Amino acid sequence: MIEKRKIEVPDYIDSKRPVSVKIMGNIKQINISDKLNKGATILPISKEEYMVKSTGEIKQVTHHARDRTQNLRNLEKTMKNLRDLINTNVTPYNTKRIRFITLTYKENMRDKEKLYTDFKNFNKRFKRYVEKTYNITYEYIVCIEAQGRGAFHIHMITIFSKAPPFIDSTKLAQTWGYGFVNIRALNGNIDNIGAYLTAYLSDLDIEGSTQLTPELLKGDIEEIITEEGKSKHVIKGARLKLLPVGINLYRCSRGIKKPQIIKLSYEDAQKEMEDTGYKKVYESAIKISDTNREFTSTYICMTFKKHINPDFR
């Protein structure tokens, strides 16, 4: 029998213990496991989870999704990877060079192959337009979202080579050609942009949805305050349930950076945080027990941030 539960982070951690440090822009994580790598690189925990022995991270086994439940687990794993990818590439250092573009369809479009083709063609046209008109290039992370009515639309995190001038939304809509578009700058005061945007992509606005099934309403409902200062209610993670099995939640251009992982002792990892001005903002610990295999392990994650004034970079 396998048990996974949250516990208090231990008061004492051996300073010489090997740890991994994941670097993602102005966010760094120290990951600690009490099981060291002695042979195999992964350790099975269950049919659905395994531990990466070199880092101690708990990950989901990737299956070809057989149903909506399995698909949801895979999408939740993908959202975590997406959050790390965004935080690596979108930081307070470069928010002035970033635009958040939304592409929608007039019709209730739910064909994922058409979605991929339409974006590919749009990207070619848009790239030619900004290079010719403004002499700038960009990298991108493109994410798929299901609207409250179930239709697909696209969010494109566009990282330009320099701060772009005003880009006319009318011209952008003509370049897209399928419906309404929106382009806006990001709020430079958000210091965990990956968490902010992945919540935006996964949480369903109750007031704006026409797809509120009894299944969706079983989810966690939370009141949030929008950037405009308005209150609204969302169902946490509910948009993921509107996406079909097998869809690729995100894609990115070749120039997008991946999170960097380095191996240090716990003592050196702490010194790394102190020397580079990162402050701890969150920590958690999970204990995993498998009575059948006589196996136990504790996984500790510590998150650090460097708070940056976007006006000084």
What is the average per-residue pLDDT within 171-176? 95
What is residue 99's predicted lDDT score, i.e. its pLDDT?
94
219 φ/ψ angles, rounded to the nearest 5 degrees: -75, 175
Neighbours of 136 (CB within 10 A): 15
Is the separation of the CB atoms in 305 and 191 below 8 Å? yes
Q: 96's torsion region: left (phi>0), alpha (psi -120 to 50) or beta?
A: alpha
Is the separation of the CB atoms in 268 and 19 below 8 Å? no
Q: What is the pLDDT of residues 280-311, one digit of tens each?
A: 999 999 988 776 666 778 899 999 998 766 54
CA-closest candidate to residue 58, choices 108, 115, 2, 113: 2
**pLDDT at residue 274 is higher than 80:** yes
- The residues, ordered by sequence, that sit 6+ positions from 226 with a Cβ below 8 Å of its Cβ are 232
What is residue 291's predicted lDDT score, i.e. its pLDDT?
66
What is residue 146's predicted lDDT score, i.e. its pLDDT?
77
**E strand or H helix that includes residue 83:** helix 68-89
The mean predicted confidence, pLDDT, of the chain is: 79
> What single string gives the DSSP state of each residue in 118-155?
HHHHHHHHHHHHHHHHH---EEEEEEEEE-TTS-EEEE
What is the average per-residue pLDDT within 63-78? 58
Q: What is the pLDDT of residues 122-145, one digit of tens each?
A: 999 999 999 999 999 999 999 888
In one letter, which amino acid is 209? S
Q: What is the pLDDT of residues 7-31, one digit of tens each?
A: 999 889 999 999 999 999 889 999 9
Whether the model clears a pTM of 0.85, i.e. scores above it, the answer is no
What is residue 51's predicted lDDT score, i.e. its pLDDT?
76
What is residue 308's predicted lDDT score, i.e. its pLDDT?
66
Percentage of the chain beyond pLDDT 70 is 71
Confidence class of residue 207 from pLDDT cuts 50, 70 and 90? Answer: very low
Place of tokens 């994650």: 301
Q: What is the pLDDT of residues 183-203, one digit of tens each?
A: 998 765 665 677 777 776 766
Rounded distance between C-alpha atoms, residue 140 and residue 104, angstroms: 17
Beta-strand relationship, 279-290 and 2-7: antiparallel
What is the average per-residue pLDDT within 200-220? 50
Between these two residues, 187 and 263, which has the higher pLDDT value?
Answer: 263
Is the separation of the CB atoms in 265 and 17 below 8 Å? yes
Rounded distance between C-alpha atoms, residue 14 and residue 12, angstroms: 7
